[in-house]
């Protein structure tokens, strides 16, 4: 998440807080190892911080389970109501609020984009991490989208590097025509593994972060994480200024980026429809 920290700092500064001047930040990184999260949250509570900012559902659930008192501002949480983090978006209740990334809601859109890109696809694979709280919801949403298109869905699960390799082998053996990568912080850290695997298996894949398309992935569709981090910085600043999380409604992204990598498309032998290129926010050549 380091590339987006400047946007978080910008949000803080817009509420009057400048790092090193009147606010200090203690960073804790789990680096994709979810079993570390509870200890990291407890460490921050022990430091008596004024607000905890979390990225993703697992980190937010760990923080919530550690402290009922310290305000928590989450960002990039897929389904804050469904995972029990907040009572509702307009009235979060408790000590949490933040910015949703609408990950599960975007699965149908990603399925639609992939079907447009590979119209002959009869079977689409979905890669999910079974340990994340939203895994089943991601599967359900994608299954519904596949049924609507008359396409079969193959679900592959992985929560480690070796399981990712095995999942791609299975997807290849079953001859899936395209692949959707589900939202998960671990998958984001593994983009250096996922992109080459999709290339070596010659499978068109859509990713939930624009960084993947920039790094050589075929196509990505995602909310603007720069905007999400800036909004989280503003919320953290408001809490530091005395606002209560329960009075700050959970925000949802309004800007989404579609990025297409033409070099990767050419390597896969795909011709990107002009209608798709016209809607792209960025085309990488």
The pLDDT of residue 281 is: 94
What structural domains does the chain harbor?
A: 2-102+223-254 (3.40.50.2300), 104-222+257-284 (3.40.50.2300)
| Integer Cα distance of 36 and 4 in angstroms | 22
Strand runs labelled E in 93-181? 96-100, 123-128, 152-157, 178-181
Would you say the C-alpha torsion 211, 129, 8, 281 has a positive or negative sign? positive
| Integer Cα distance of 150 and 148 in angstroms | 6
The pLDDT of residue 114 is: 93
Residue 195, strand partner residues: none
Quickly count: other Cβ atoms within 10 Å of residue 67's Cβ: 16
Q: Note whether 128 and 53 are within 8 A (CB).
A: no
The pLDDT of residue 31 is: 84
The pLDDT of residue 185 is: 82
Work out the angle between the directed axes of helices 37-46 and 57-66 (0-180°, nearest 10).
50
Tokens of 180: 């959707």
pTM of the model as a whole: 0.83
Residues of the chain with pLDDT under 70: none
Residues in Cβ contact with 208 at an 8 Å cutoff, skipping those fewer than 6 apart: 103, 106, 110, 181, 182, 183, 220, 221, 222
Q: Note whether 60 and 66 are within 8 A (CB).
A: no
The pLDDT of residue 56 is: 87
Which tens digits make up the pLDDT trace of 154-188? 999 999 999 999 999 999 999 999 999 998 888 98
| Integer Cα distance of 79 and 58 in angstroms | 11
The pLDDT of residue 198 is: 97
The pLDDT of residue 104 is: 77
Quickly count: other Cβ atoms within 10 Å of residue 279's Cβ: 12
Strand runs labelled E in 78-215? 96-100, 123-128, 152-157, 178-181, 205-207
Q: Look at the block and give the residue holding tokens 């407890």.
A: 42
First to last CA, the chain: 26
The pLDDT of residue 77 is: 87
Q: Note whether 47 and 269 are within 8 A (CB).
A: no
The pLDDT of residue 265 is: 97
The pLDDT of residue 3 is: 79
From residue 78, alpha-carbon distances to 135, 187, 208 in Å are 10, 15, 12
The pLDDT of residue 229 is: 94
Distance of CA 80 to the CA centre of its chain: 13
| Integer Cα distance of 66 and 238 in angstroms | 22
């Amino acid at each position: 998440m380091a590339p987006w920290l400047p946007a978080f700092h910008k949000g803080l500064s817009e509420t009057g807080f400048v790092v090193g001047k009147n606010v200090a930040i203690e960073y804790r990184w789990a680096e994709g190892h979810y079993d570390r999260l509870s200890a990291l949250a407890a460490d921050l509570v022990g430091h008596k911080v004024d607000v905890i900012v979390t990225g993703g559902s697992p980190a937010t659930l760990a923080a919530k389970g550690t402290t009922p008192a310290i305000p928590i501002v989450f960002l990039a949480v897929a389904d804050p109501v469904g995972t029990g983090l907040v009572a509702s978006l307009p009235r979060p209740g408790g000590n949490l609020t933040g910015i949703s990334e609408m990950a599960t809601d975007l699965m149908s859109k990603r399925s639609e984009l992939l079907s447009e890109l590979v119209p002959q696809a009869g079977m689409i694979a979905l890669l999910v991490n079974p340990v994340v709280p939203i895994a089943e919801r991601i599967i359900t949403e994608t299954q519904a989208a596949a049924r609507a298109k008359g396409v079969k869905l193959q679900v592959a699960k992985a929560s480690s590097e070796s399981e990712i390799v095995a999942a791609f082998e299975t997807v290849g053996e079953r001859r899936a025509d395209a692949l959707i990568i589900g939202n998960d912080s671990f998958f984001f850290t593994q983009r250096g593994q996922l992109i080459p695997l999709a290339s070596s298996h010659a499978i068109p894949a859509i990713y939930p972060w624009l960084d993947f398309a920039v790094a050589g992935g075929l196509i990505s569709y995602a909310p603007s994480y720069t905007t999400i981090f800036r909004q989280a910085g503003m919320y953290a600043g408001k809490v530091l200024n005395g606002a209560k999380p329960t009075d700050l409604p959970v925000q949802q992204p309004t800007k989404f980026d579609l990025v297409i990598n033409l070099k990767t498309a050419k390597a896969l032998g795909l011709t990107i429809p002009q209608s798709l290129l016209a809607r792209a926010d960025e085309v990488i050549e």
